[in-house]
Structure 1
Amino acid sequence: MPRPTLEFWYEFASTYSYLSAMRIDDAAGRAGVAVVWRPFLLGPILGAQGLSDSPFNLYPVKGRYMWRDMEREAAALRLPFCRPKPFPQNSLLAARVALVGLDRGWTPDFSRAVFAAEFGKGRSIGDPATLAEILASLGENPDAVLAEAGTEANKARLRRAGEEALSRGVFGAPTFFAEDGEMFWGNDRLEQALAWAVERARCSQWPV
């Protein structure tokens, strides 16, 4: 039976996307599911909802809970965690760079490194120097990749990703889609999403 796939839609400025990014490949490997990494920008989607900032900033009580929850969850996963300043970070360039790597296979490694720099070390992911350092560590040419990330074609690709996310009902990050289109939102739904993907793939093999 072919391996089922799960789309992983994530935003680099998203706290809970950090948790999912750092554990999804191991979890999916155990489940026998292939992961399709889908970087996108959440800001325009929040804007379409009438929000001018992260809900965690707009609603301080919610924000305080989220930061404490992140401390607990990161500790449980044995991940370093610190609050980046400012929050949310400017994730535009990181998302553009991640798109460049999709066809070359280094997007997952790049994405994990960006999340680790941001939420593990508190570094600015909006700084091209941070991203250049990460690209160099992956054996890529930072100048060439950053130049490609800034092309009109790549910018349009990121806009299309955002439009697709909006059309499919994405309202937050991380979001997961099984092959049948079933949507799951939040790091705490990752295992459920993987189980769904496996079960639907199994059902599709049954004779009619």
Structure 2
Amino acid sequence: MPGPVLEFWYDFASTYSYLAAMRIEAAAEEAGVKVHWRPFLLGPIFAAQGWTTSPFNLFPDKGRYMWRDMEREAARLGVPFCRPDPFPQNSLLAARVALVGLDQGWTPAFTKAVFAAEFGKSRNISDPAALSIVLTDLGLDAGAVMEQAQAEANKARLRRIGEEAQLRGIFGAPCFVAEDRELFWGNDRLERALDWATARARHSDVPV
């Protein structure tokens, strides 16, 4: 029987999505859970709530806490961290590129490399040149991938994924969604989501 599956919904502009992306593969492998990577955009979801930017910008106290928390958590996990400028980054092109990789198997590697460039080296991920470097470093044809990413069919695909996210009640990132549609929000809920996914899988295997 196939093992449990957990969807990982993330936005490249999201600070806590960075932390989750850098550790989800090892945590999921240990738990025996397969990860489905689901890049999407928070911008339309925030706009539907009347927000024009990240809530970490809209609410200064929350923002100050987040930046300090990110410093602590990045140090604990042993990953580099710096504040990107501007914040949030425009993650549209990165999300489109990541969708291309879903069909070719390199989305996880691309995602981690983009997050590392953005939050580890303060690279501007809205710059096509920055993403091209990531793709080239992964041994991919950056020009061909960029062309696929900007194709109308791929743009429409990203819009549909955004609509799906809203319909499913996803309001932030990262989010982890189990096969029974149970939703967990936040990097600190990753382990709880994995536990839920494995418990539900064991329950479904019980004869009735």
TM superposition shift of 1:2: 2.1
2:55 aligned partner: 55
Describe how 1:35-54 pairs up with structure 2 within 5 A.
Answer: 35-54=35-54
- 1:60-103 CA-partner distances (Å, limit 9, x unpaired): 00000000000000000000000000000010000000000001
Find the aligned partners of 2:181 and 2:61 in 1 and give their Cα distance.
33
1:84 aligned partner: 84
Describe how 1:1-208 pairs up with structure 2 within 5 A.
Answer: 1-208=1-208
**Identity among equivalent pairs (%):** 72
Find the aligned partners of 1:7 and 1:161 in 2 and give their Cα distance.
13
Q: 3-state SS of the aligned residue for 2:206?
A: coil
- 1:115-141 CA-partner distances (Å, limit 9, x unpaired): 000000000000000000000011110
Count of matched residue positions in the alignment of Structure 1 and Structure 2: 208
Give the aligned residue type for 2:73. Answer: E
Between stretches 191-200 and 45-54, larger displacement belongs to 45-54
TM-score, reference length from structure 2: 0.99
Give the aligned residue type for 2:2. Answer: P
The runs of 5 or more residues in structure 1 that have no matched partner are none
- 1:39-80 CA-partner distances (Å, limit 9, x unpaired): 000000011111111000000000000000000000000000
Find the aligned partners of 1:206 and 1:181 in 2 and give their Cα distance.
20
TM superposition shift of 1:207: 1.1
TM-score, reference length from structure 1: 0.99
Give the aligned residue type for 1:148. Answer: Q
Find the aligned partners of 1:10 and 1:26 in 2 and give their Cα distance.
17
What is the CA RMSD across the aligned residues, in angstroms? 0.5
Give the aligned residue type for 2:144. Answer: A
Find the aligned partners of 1:141 and 1:9 in 2 and give their Cα distance.
26
Find the aligned partners of 2:198 and 2:51 in 1 and give their Cα distance.
35
Give the aligned residue type for 1:39. Answer: P
